[in-house]
């Protein structure tokens, strides 16, 4: 699943385009409707031709609301940079473009909209040339330009096709890491309580999960999940998600907090970053400057420490340590933006290299800088492990790391011997941490299954396999290397799971057994038994083997079944064969039971038909 975002100058037609694509007006606030201007983030979605739901985050273009734009643009997979054909590139087009570049958003389309206002095709070519020039040194240098009108609908079907094609080319988004939801909205729904929304990253969330919200260190439980207004049991990374939380008050939450599973992220007040100063920043960045720091949906005022420079000129790069005004939940690799508060200006951004430095570095220390450089680049083994954050073939790892055959072999060996990478069958590799995550997910799925279906032995293997999205061979390997989950007759269960009947259920079971024992060879039918104990209890007794179901309607107690089989075989051994009528008379039962059992035994290979009679089968 994917989420894309809009970007571009105020009034250039972002929200109108989103409405045209989705039928949903992303400007939901009354003030937005009155002012015909987006103020806060808007959310919409559409179904792509391949059937997948695509979420869209619509951002405001006005410079006064750029902080809201920053809160929404973080989690997107691709961007639609919207430029009105009548105006072309404008100041916030440039600023948004610089932000997209600093955030490393590589994938996008440039939507030249409002073409209904332009009669002169030369003008459109001119605007396109200006656009190509402006994006040339950014991550969007190769983005296609699509001409549309949200008013006439011209070019919209082509745009949808181009969006689909763009997304189809993206590498798979990670499903197996720890889930992370940067919260961009908090509200309450009467009768349900606190709800937070965001774009889910990294891994799945599930109804019932224990959660933690940082930096406030609040614990709660997921009471319900929605994605695109539909209730879901499991929310997928790469989708917009609304989480209904039990145990956390709305008043304790705000935009920028991060929802995760417990103990995944520690809040921090100090962070080491690599920073790129924008070329057209108005002044050099000084040591001890005050700035605003934006990451995910969060922000904080920070003091900037220049670790290896007296001063950073526009266009330069460098190492900074930022001291935050308030704790934030950050992760290594997070992209951030720095702005001056007043006069407001985006000055640059970069990447979080160490979210927990733990101490204030002395400036101009070669060993500190060397350590930061290694942390940013990572060792070759760490880079391979990063690329193996999903089950990945060797060729895929080679493509994403760019290593030669020899380099890759050496690095794989290194990572395998460190135990941070695992080699699976079929030339597939996976990061150990991700593998452990899949194991935990398997256990969670089974625990949830046992909770929902306490009277079933286990979850059908195929159901679990498809829920985890794993290949057969990989599931088999997952099961081999552990002992908390047991595989039994195509069902999987937690090793310590047992079917337990309630007192009331045990009483009805007792009543059923009394009836069955009173007439062991003409016992109640399946339907009658289900009437006594309930169908789920009856199924459980069958799964446990206490009752044997020989035909859909014919059941026997285990004891009666075994007696009949033993007796039948000894009759056959004595007489060479037994007819159905002899068998029926021997047990003083009826045709239904006798034939039912014999046919069952035939198909199990215990008996075999020989004309009118039965003889021993192959078993």
Ligand X SMILES: Nc1nc2c(ncn2[C@@H]2O[C@H](COP(=O)(O)OP(=O)(O)OP(=O)(O)O)[C@@H](O)[C@H]2O)c(=O)[nH]1
Task: Give backbone dihedrals phi and psi of 471, rounded to 5 degrees, phi first.
Answer: -75, 155
- Choice between 85 and 211, CB closer to ligand X: 85
- Choice between 16 and 268, CB closer to ligand X: 16
- Choice between 33 and 219, CB closer to ligand X: 33
Give the H/E segment covering residue 511. helix 503-518
Here's the x/- map for ligand X, 108-137, by CB under 6 A: it reads as -----xx-xx--------------------
96 binds ligand X (CB under 6 A): no
- Choice between 151 and 467, CB closer to ligand X: 151
Q: Which listed option, Mg ion, ligand X, none, makes contact with residue 134 (CB within 5 to 8 Å by class)?
A: none
Provide DSSP, 271-300: EEEEEEE-TT-SSPEETT-EEEEEETTEEE
- Choice between 28 and 287, CB closer to ligand X: 28
- Choice between 44 and 434, CB closer to Mg ion: 44
Task: Please tell me the count of residues contacting Mg ion according to CB under 5 A.
Answer: 3
CA 418, 420, 424, 427 dihedral sign is: negative
- Choice between 16 and 173, CB closer to Mg ion: 16
Task: Return the SS3 of 80.
Answer: strand
68 binds Mg ion (CB under 5 A): no
What is the torsion angle, in degrees rounded to the nearest 10, for the CA atoms of residue 294, residue 202, residue 247 and residue 298? 0
User: Shortest CA distance to 301 belongs to which of 286, 310, 291, 316?
Assistant: 291
Whole-number Å distance between alpha carbons of 491 and 27:
49
14 binds Mg ion (CB under 5 A): yes
Q: How far is the CB of 15 from Mg ion (least distance, A)?
A: 3
Whole-number Å distance between alpha carbons of 615 and 619:
11
Q: How far is the CB of 297 from Mg ion (least distance, A)?
A: 18
Cα–chain center distance at 585: 62
Residues 15-34 that bind ligand X (CB under 6 A): 15-16
Residues 288-347 that bind Mg ion (CB under 5 A): none
450 binds ligand X (CB under 6 A): no
In the chain, the N- to C-terminal Cα span, in Å, equals 51
Q: Which listed option, Mg ion, ligand X, none, makes contact with residue 11 (CB within 5 to 8 Å by class)?
A: ligand X
Residues 34-53 that bind ligand X (CB under 6 A): 36-38
- Choice between 31 and 373, CB closer to ligand X: 31
Task: Give backbone dihedrals phi and psi of 141, rounded to 5 degrees, phi first.
Answer: -50, -35
Here's the x/- map for ligand X, 53-72, by CB under 6 A: it reads as -------xxx----------
Residues 27-66 that bind Mg ion (CB under 5 A): 38
Q: Which listed option, ligand X, Mg ion, none, makes contact with residue 114 (CB within 5 to 8 Å by class)?
A: ligand X
Q: Taking contact as CB under 5 A, which single stretch among the options 13-21, 127-135, 525-533, 536-544 is the one that binds Mg ion?
A: 13-21
Which of 139, 149, 268, 346 binds ligand X (CB under 6 A)? It is 149
Q: Which residues of 592-613 are buried (b: 16+ CB within 10 A; e: fewer)?
A: ebbbbbbbbbeeeebbeeeeeb
Q: Taking contact as CB under 6 A, which single stretch among the options 8-16, 254-262, 305-313, 510-518 is the one that binds ligand X?
A: 8-16
Whole-number Å distance between alpha carbons of 553 and 531:
13
| The token pair that represents 58 in the structure block | 């619509």
15 binds Mg ion (CB under 5 A): yes
Q: How far is the CB of 39 from ligand X (least distance, A)?
A: 8
Q: How far is the CB of 54 from ligand X (least distance, A)?
A: 18
Q: Taking contact as CB under 6 A, which single stretch among the options 4-12, 258-266, 304-312, 539-547 is the one that binds ligand X?
A: 4-12
Contacting residues for 276 by C-beta, under 8 A, at least 6 apart = 102, 317, 348, 349, 350
Which of 99, 150, 306, 376 binds ligand X (CB under 6 A)? It is 150
Q: Taking contact as CB under 6 A, which single stretch among the options 149-157, 177-185, 363-371, 475-483 is the one that binds ligand X?
A: 149-157
Residues 399-418 that bind ligand X (CB under 6 A): none
529 touches 575 (CB < 8 A): no
Angle at CA 112, nearest 5°, toward 108 and 116? 150
Give the H/E segment covering residue 575. helix 558-575
Q: Which listed option, ligand X, Mg ion, none, makes contact with residue 28 (CB within 5 to 8 Å by class)?
A: none
User: Shortest CA distance to 82 belongs to which of 53, 106, 60?
Assistant: 60
Q: How far is the CB of 61 from ligand X (least distance, A)?
A: 3
Q: How far is the CB of 59 from ligand X (least distance, A)?
A: 7
Task: Give backbone dihedrals phi and psi of 297, rounded to 5 degrees, phi first.
Answer: -100, 10
Q: How far is the CB of 2 from Mg ion (least distance, A)?
A: 21
Contacting residues for 240 by C-beta, under 8 A, at least 6 apart = 3, 43, 45, 55, 57, 197, 198, 199, 200, 227, 228
Task: Give backbone dihedrals phi and psi of 393, rounded to 5 degrees, phi first.
Answer: -75, 160
Q: Which listed option, Mg ion, ligand X, none, makes contact with residue 116 (CB within 5 to 8 Å by class)?
A: ligand X
Whole-number Å distance between alpha carbons of 369 and 392:
33
Q: How far is the CB of 434 from ligand X (least distance, A)?
A: 39
Contacts with ligand X by CB under 6 A lie at 8, 10-16, 36-38, 60-62, 113-114, 116-117, 149-151
Contacts with Mg ion by CB under 5 A lie at 14-15, 38
């Amino acid at each position: 699943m994917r989420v894309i975002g809009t970007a571009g100058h105020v009034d250039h037609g972002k929200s109108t385009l989103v409405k045209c694509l989705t039928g949903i007006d992303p400007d939901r606030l009354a003030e937005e409707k009155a002012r015909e201007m987006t103020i806060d983030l808007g959310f919409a979605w559409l179904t792509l031709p391949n059937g997948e739901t695509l979420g869209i985050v619509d951002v405001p273009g006005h410079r006064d609301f750029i902080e809201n734009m920053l809160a929404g643009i973080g989690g997107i997979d691709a961007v639609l940079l919207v430029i009105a054909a009548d105006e072309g590139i404008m100041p916030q087009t440039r600023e948004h473009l610089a932000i997209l570049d600093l955030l490393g958003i590589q994938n996008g389309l440039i939507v030249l909209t409002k073409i209904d206002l332009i009669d002169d095709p030369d003008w459109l070519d001119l605007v396109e040339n200006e656009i190509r020039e402006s994006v040339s040194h950014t991550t969007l240098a190769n983005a296609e330009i699509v001409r549309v009108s949200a008013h006439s609908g011209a070019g919209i079907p082509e745009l949808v096709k181009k969006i689909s094609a763009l997304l189809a080319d993206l590498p798979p988004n990670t499903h197996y890491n720890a889930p992370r939801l940067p919260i961009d909205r908090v509200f309450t729904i009467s009768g349900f309580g606190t709800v937070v929304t965001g774009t889910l990253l990294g891994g799945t969330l599930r109804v019932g999960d224990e959660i933690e919200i940082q930096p406030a260190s609040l614990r709660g439980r997921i009471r319900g999940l929605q994605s695109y207004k539909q209730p879901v049991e499991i929310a997928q990374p790469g989708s917009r998600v609304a989480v209904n939380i039990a145990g956390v008050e709305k008043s304790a939450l705000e935009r920028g907090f991060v929802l995760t599973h417990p103990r995944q992220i520690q809040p921090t007040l100090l962070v080491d970053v690599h920073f790129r100063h924008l070329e057209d920043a108005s002044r050099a960045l000084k040591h001890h400057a005050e700035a605003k720091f934006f990451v995910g949906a969060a922000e904080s005022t920070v003091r900037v420490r220049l670790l290896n420079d007296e001063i950073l000129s526009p266009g330069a790069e460098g190492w900074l340590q930022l001291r935050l005004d308030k704790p934030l939940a950050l992760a290594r690799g997070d992209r951030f933006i720095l702005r001056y508060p007043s006069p407001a200006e985006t000055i640059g951004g970069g990447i979080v290299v160490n979210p927990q430095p733990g101490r204030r570095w002395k400036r101009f220390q070669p060993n500190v800088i060397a350590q930061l450089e290694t942390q940013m680049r990572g060792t070759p083994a760490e880079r391979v492990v990063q690329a193996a954050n999903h089950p990945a073939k060797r060729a895929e790892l080679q493509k994403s790391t760019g290593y030669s055959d020899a380099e890759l072999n050496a690095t794989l060996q290194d990572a395998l011997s460190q135990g941070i990478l695992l080699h699976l069958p079929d030339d597939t590799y996976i990061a150990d941490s991700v593998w452990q995550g899949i194991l935990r997910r398997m256990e969670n799925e089974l625990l949830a299954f046992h909770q929902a279906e306490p009277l079933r032995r286990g979850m059908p293997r195929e159901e679990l396999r498809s829920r985890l999205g794993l290949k057969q061979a990989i599931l088999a390997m997952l099961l081999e290397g552990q002992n908390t989950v047991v595989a039994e007759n195509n069902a999987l269960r937690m090793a310590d799971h047992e079917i337990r009947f309630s007192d009331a259920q045990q009483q009805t079971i007792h009543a059923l057994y009394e009836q069955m024992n009173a007439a062991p060879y003409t016992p109640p039918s399946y339907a009658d038994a289900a009437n006594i104990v309930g169908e789920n209890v009856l199924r459980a007794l069958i799964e446990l083997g206490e009752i044997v179901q020989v035909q859909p309607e014919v059941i026997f107690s285990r004891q009666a079944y075994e007696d009949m089989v033993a007796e039948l075989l000894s009759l056959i051994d004595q007489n060479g064969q037994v007819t159905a009528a002899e068998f029926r008379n021997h047990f003083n039962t009826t045709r239904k039971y006798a034939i039912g059992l014999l046919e069952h035994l035939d198909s199990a290979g215990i008996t075999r038909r020989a004309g009118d009679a039965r003889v021993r089968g192959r078993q």
